[in-house]
Chain A
Amino acid sequence: MMSSFMFMVMEAWRALGSNRLRTLLTMLGMIIGVAAVVLMLAVGSGAQYSVNQSIAAMGSNLFIVLSGAQTSGGRFMGMGTTPTLTLGDAQAIGQLSNVAAVAPVVPGSAQIVYAGNNWSTAVSGTTPGYLSVHNWPLAHGRNITESDIRTEARVAILGQTVSTNLFGDTDPIGKIIRITGYPYLVIGQLSVKGQSLNGQDQDDTVLIPVTTALHQLFGSQFVDSVRFIMAQAASLSTMIQVQEDMDALLRQRHHLRGSKPDDFAIRNLTQLAQTASDTARVMSLLLGAIASISLIVGGIGIMNIMLVSVTERTREIGIRMAVGARRRDILLQFLLESIFISVSGCLIGVCLGVGGAYLVMGLTHTTVIVTGFSIVLAFLVAAAIGIFFGFYPARIASLMKPIDALRFQ
């Protein structure tokens, strides 16, 4: 029985080989469909991966509390223009239950000098909570401490980009750098974080105690006011409660009663991140779905050609039946041919799709991930399409009456 099957496989090969151009064109539908599916899934999962990476780097269960908008003659100046948030607000938020960490931030930029090198970068005044809020461990050295805050110590933690530009490969810890002319002791070095979602280099930064930033570096006109406060909830499920608590707390602290509008805004960053992640996943699915349509079109191409082939070979079917082929032998023969087309097309399509994915990666420098899953899926779908679209023509062939098939001219 096995050798008969092999004979049929060889015959399918010969039958398809006898009309190479037609076989190739039919296969092309499958090739393009499979290549499109593999490529689109690779691009989609690459995008999803990048988004998830950025989200993980940002920290989880995050809130950002911004100070309110200033109005000048009826014109709103944008969020953060009114210095309504204070260090006291940040401390009070830190006391709330289910708040894991809090970090007020006073951002700015400054010129930093070490020996003959200088570098202009973002300098943020903040508190020890900054690192845990951003899920950002130190490469080495130590974090800012409460006593640094109290004493307005001139200490600094360097991001990797800053460290590399000022110190090269040497260890910066214990060295003295100058920020706008004043000496600061380097106490720590941040681990590499990479790009943010919008492409900024997050490692190009320096952290100093918030009090030092307020009173010495930037010399704020409003004492103790911070631009924004980062807060981290203990878990995803407590986020709504934490948001409500913070809102109530800040309204109380800012003496806002009744219908007076908030002079601050609380943003849920995790929600944004979740949205971004969902968007990437939906996009990935959508790309796959659109590509699948071409696979179905390819399948219809196979069905079309198999129908033509069955009609052309009616006499052959009659001869086979005359020498003893059963209905299932004829069915199997034509089914084998359509499966042959779809699976070979799939093989070539997978190669093209994977090649295309790496080409896209090389040309655009975006992350592209070819998963084994997408290849296995493409194969299964191709085989299923071969069987599904091949079955109808094969069945027509198998149900022919031998006498009619033999008489066919």
Chain B
Amino acid sequence: MSAIPLIRTLNLSKHYDTAVGKLVVLHEVNVSIYPGEFVAIMGPSGSGKTTFMNLLGCLDVPSSGEYYLQEHTVGETSSDQLSKFRNQLIGFVFQGYNLLARLTALDNVALPLVYAGWGKEKRDVRALEMLEKVGLARFASFNPNQLSGGQQQRVAIARALANHAPLLLADEPTGNLDTATSDEIMMLFTELSQRDGVTIVLVTHEPDIARYAKRLIHFRDGRVLDDSPHTTSGSTSVPST
């Protein structure tokens, strides 16, 4: 572990103003994640784990507290700057894959590079390289609806990595997949973590999936309940939802 954290939150909070008063979703969360870590975030629905993930991913802004991504202070940045962080520092993998149906697998993977301003040839070479990494090079010209769920999720992972993002954020990446395919995807994450040193933060409520991570953070009622380095047999205290 490096001495400088990739992610550091300081009293990070998020609340919404509703008709019945202030709804606190995240309450003063302090978490540091170092480069190369493989972290699973667990907790029941409404525990604030997805909100925490969205804040880490610069998709949402905190109500109070601070968030440092590498050397950047995220709270004080413009929307263009947030777009740049998402483009260059963060790769997303969603439960629903979130591929663009009109684009081929190759163009989907190349999409972040379009917004990074890469030339077409460079983009295609890089996107193909990424597809190869997830074992789908021969499906490059396929549209998402021609691919299985597991294949679509692999394309999504390739897209997340296309711009060499050091941080991979995965929100229930295996939620729509069967057990065997889930295991394949998790093996891929493990490989990316160990071989390429990608920092992975994974949100899940399945202990079997969380097992692949090296560190577990439990959320409940918007607070960190437990932050433990690697448990071999998974957590027994995870409440099912």
- A interface vs B, CB < 8 Å? 1, 3-4, 6-8, 11, 14-15, 18, 315-316, 318-327, 329, 401-403, 406
Which of B111-119, B183-191, B223-231 lies at the interface with chain A?
B111-119
**A324 adjacent to B98 (CB under 8 Å):** no
**B138 sits at the interface (CB 8 A):** no
A sample of 11 inter-chain contacts (CB < 8 A) reads A1-B117, A4-B117, A7-B120, A14-B103, A15-B102, A315-B98, A319-B100, A320-B111, A322-B92, A323-B111, A323-B115
**B112 adjacent to A323 (CB under 8 Å):** yes
Residue from the set A1, A316, A322, A406 with the largest chain B CB neighbour count within 10 Å: A322
Given the contacts A3-B120, A326-B79, A321 and B60 also touching, CB distance less than 8 Å: no
Interface set, chain B 34-67, CB cutoff 8 A to A: 54, 57, 59-60
Q: B83 contacts which of A3, A15, A325 (Cβ < 8 Å)? A: A325
- B interface vs A, CB < 8 Å? 54, 57, 59-60, 79-80, 83-84, 86-88, 92, 94, 98-100, 102-103, 111-112, 114-120, 123, 159, 163
**A323 adjacent to B159 (CB under 8 Å):** yes
Which residues of chain A are near B54, meaning CB under 8 Å? 403
Which residues of chain B are near A327, meaning CB under 8 Å? 79-80, 83
**A402 adjacent to B100 (CB under 8 Å):** no
B121 to chain A, nearest CB (A): 8
Q: A324 contacts which of B60, B94, B116, B120 (Cβ < 8 Å)? A: B116
- What 4 additional pairs, Cβ within 8 angstroms, besides A318-B98, A322-B92, A323-B112? A3-B119, A323-B92, A327-B80, A406-B94
**B114 adjacent to A14 (CB under 8 Å):** no
**B83 adjacent to A321 (CB under 8 Å):** yes
A interface SS class: helix
**B98 adjacent to A322 (CB under 8 Å):** yes
**B86 adjacent to A323 (CB under 8 Å):** yes
Which residues of chain A are near B87, meaning CB under 8 Å? 323-324
**B79 adjacent to A322 (CB under 8 Å):** no
**A324 adjacent to B83 (CB under 8 Å):** yes
How far is A139 from B88 in the complex, measured between Cα atoms in Å? Answer: 83
**Nearest-CB residue, chain B, relative to A402:** B59
**A319 adjacent to B98 (CB under 8 Å):** yes
**Nearest-CB residue, chain B, relative to A406:** B59
Which residues of chain B are near A11, meaning CB under 8 Å? 102-103
How far is A262 from B216 in the complex, measured between Cα atoms in Å? Answer: 114
Q: A406 contacts which of B98, B103, B117, B120 (Cβ < 8 Å)? A: B98
Which residues of chain A are near B92, meaning CB under 8 Å? 322-323
**Nearest-CB residue, chain B, relative to A7:** B114
Q: B115 contacts which of A3, A6, A316, A325 (Cβ < 8 Å)? A: A325
**B83 adjacent to A18 (CB under 8 Å):** no
How far is A103 from B86 in the complex, measured between Cα atoms in Å? Answer: 89
Which residues of chain B are near A326, meaning CB under 8 Å? 79-80, 83-84, 115
**B117 adjacent to A14 (CB under 8 Å):** no
A303 to chain B, nearest CB (A): 23
How far is A219 from B29 in the complex, measured between Cα atoms in Å? Answer: 120
How far is A67 from B82 in the complex, measured between Cα atoms in Å? Answer: 90
How far is A38 from B119 in the complex, measured between Cα atoms in Å? Answer: 41
**Nearest-CB residue, chain B, relative to A328:** B80
How far is A6 from B107 in the complex, measured between Cα atoms in Å? Answer: 13
Q: A403 contacts which of B59, B79, B159 (Cβ < 8 Å)? A: B59
Which residues of chain A are near B120, meaning CB under 8 Å? 3, 6-7
B129 to chain A, nearest CB (A): 17
How far is A326 from B123 in the complex, measured between Cα atoms in Å? Answer: 18
How far is A46 from B112 in the complex, measured between Cα atoms in Å? Answer: 55
A408 to chain B, nearest CB (A): 11
**A322 adjacent to B59 (CB under 8 Å):** yes
Which residues of chain A are near B98, meaning CB under 8 Å? 315, 318-319, 322, 406
